[in-house]
Amino acid sequence: MKLAHFESLGPVCPNCRLHQGQEHPLTLARIAARSGSAVIEGTLHCSHADCQLEYPIIDGIPLLFPDIRRYITDNIGHLTARPDLSAETESILGDCLGPNSAFELTRQHLSAYAWDNYGDLDPAESTAGPAQPNGVGRCLHVGLQQVDRRLDAPILDIGCAVGRSSFELADTSSQLVLGIDTNISMLRLAQRILTHGKVSYPRRRIGIVYDRREFAVDFPAMAQVDFWAASGLSLPFRSGTFGLIVGLQVLDSVSSPHELLRAIASALQAGGSAVLATPYDWSPAATPIEAWIGGHSQRSTTQGAAEPLLRALLTPGAHPHSVDGLLLRHEVLHCPWHTRIHDRSTMLYDTHIVIAEAKTAHG
């Protein structure tokens, strides 16, 4: 955790903010390990006497969740995973654990996201074939081109995964950029890139066969970037902290898309912008069907279509649940985004990009 980001963003206790609607600042209570101006291991405390929850910093990543006990319980495998195993040892573990293990699912996710985020920078990656990496970067820049103006304020990247969008956002601004995600394994990969300037990930060949890919990367504005573990549904920041918020492939990956939109509206400064991209790839494992934006109730007036419903949610008065404070400004209906599964399998998403503006000041 970079001290510059902590001091500038002034995070607040996510538990107090979610349950009491109060914004009590977090304090840096203990530093167990540091590297220059970054805390590698330590503890953040809620400053409120009636709360005083502790939030650990592990491998440079603060864990800022309202129910920190549950998050750690649910993610202890990721938190204690060893990042220093050789490719051969990882392969043996994968063979022993099999295709349905948590270990294998983590490797699959890292393979898919790291390929998309950094495959275009890998000297060993072939450029042949229809599938091209860095769909995240292409969709990001398509969205940024539609932003009418950029405020002189920090930038938040919700669902940053392994970090490419955060690095590219920093290249477009002189402001601090913070990438957040709930997946600690992906954040660790992003944090290692930030610290060491090297991508290292298991690239899936077929089945449970992987090749370790390692290569150097350099983004000009890496000093402006940091990565924290937090949820877009319970942002640990004061209202009106950010001038730009980006959420790529996130709206269909949270338990409540409507709450995510409300959280974004609260976190933006008046006149700030949100760039959101989604293929509406709904899954009940991530989002209850009642919370989907479209994708069901085909006998309704929108016949189950997602796009008109999202437009209505971002237009004041157009829907009973329109998000107060966010106004749709622009949209791009089609932006291709490839996700590589393995050597002979690639998924093509047709992503809908919307740009909304925060219209009201925060008290």
> What pLDDT does residue 214 have?
97
128 with 48, same domain: the answer is: no
Which helix (DSSP H) or strand (DSSP E) does residue 261 occupy? helix 257-267
CA 249 – CA 86 distance, rounded (Å): 31
Q: Give the pLDDT score at 301.
A: 83
pLDDT of residue 363: 39
Which of 74, 98, 133 terminates a domain? The answer is 74
pLDDT for the residue 129: 76
Phi-psi region of 39 (alpha: psi -120 to 50; beta: other; left: phi over 0): beta
Q: pLDDT for 77-114, tens place per residue?
A: 999 998 889 999 999 999 999 999 999 999 999 999 99
The reported pTM is 0.96
Do 165 and 267 sit in the same domain of this protein? Answer: yes
Residue 274 lies in a domain: yes
Cα–Cα distance for residue pair 267/182, rounded to 1 Å: 18
CA angle 302, 145, 293 (to 5 degrees): 20
Same domain, 177 and 57: no
The pLDDT score that the predictor gives to residue 360 is 64
For residue 24, give the DSSP letter. P
Token representation of residue 171:
């290249």
Among 95, 16, 105, 29, CA closest to 62: 29
CA end-to-end span of the chain, whole Å?
Answer: 29
Instruction: Judge if 28 and 136 occupy the same domain.
Output: no
The last residue of a domain, from among 14, 49, 74: 74
What is the domain-level CATH number for residue 179? 3.40.50.150
Partners of 356 in beta bridges: 274, 328
Q: What's the pLDDT band for 131 if we cut at 50, 70, 90?
A: confident
Strand order in the sheet with 268-278: 26-35, 38-46, 54-58, 61-64, 225-230, 177-181, 155-158, 242-248, 268-278, 345-358, 326-342
Is 123 inside any structural domain? yes
**Of 125-134, 187-196, 273-282, which range is least confident?**
125-134
Residue type, 241: T
Same domain, yes or no: 246 and 272? yes
Choose one of 42, 74, 106: the last residue of a domain. 74
26 and 110 housed in the same domain = no
Check residue 257 and give its pLDDT.
97
Provide the sign of the torsion angle of the four alpha carbons 281, 339, 158, 74, taken in this order: positive
Is the domain of 266 the same as that of 176? yes
Q: Do 55 and 106 fall into the same domain?
A: no
% of the chain surpassing 70 pLDDT: 99
Instruction: Return the pLDDT at 244.
Output: 98
Q: Per-residue pLDDT tens for 209-252?
A: 999 999 999 999 999 999 999 999 999 999 999 999 999 999 99
Please list, residue by residue across 97-129, b when 16 or more beta carbons sit within 10 angstroms of its beta carbon and e when fewer do. eeeeeebbebbbebbbbbbbbbbbbbeebeeee
Question: Is there a domain that residue 178 lies in?
Answer: yes
- Asked if 215 and 122 touch (Cβ cutoff 8 Å), the reply is yes
pLDDT of residue 122: 97
> Residue 81 domain-assigned?
no
Q: Are residues 67 and 12 in the same domain?
A: yes
User: Which tokens is 239 given?
Assistant: 């209202």
67 with 197, same domain: the answer is no
Residue 308 inside a domain? The answer is yes
- The H or E element spanning position 267 is helix 257-267
Cβ burial, residue 300 (10 Å; 0-12/13-18/19+): exposed
Pair (177, 62) in one structural domain? no
How confident is the model at residue 362, as a pLDDT? Answer: 45
For residue 237, give its domain range.
87-358
Examine residue 167 and state whether it is found in any structural domain, yes or no: yes
User: How many other C-beta atoms lie within 10 A of the C-beta of residue 289?
Assistant: 11
Specify whether the CB–CB gap between 183 and 78 falls below 8 A: yes
Are 62 and 229 contacting, i.e. CB atoms less than 8 angstroms apart? yes
> Is 79 a member of any domain?
no
The tokens describing 26, both together, are: 């977090």
Least confident range from 159-168, 230-239, 275-284, 295-304: namely 295-304
Indicate whether 47 belongs to any domain: yes
What's the rounded mean pLDDT across residues 292-303?
89
The CA distance from 236 to 339, in Å, is 30
- Is residue 329 exposed (0-12), middle (13-18) or buried (19+ Cβ within 10 Å)? middle
Do 58 and 118 have their domain in common? no
As for how many domains the chain has, the answer is 2
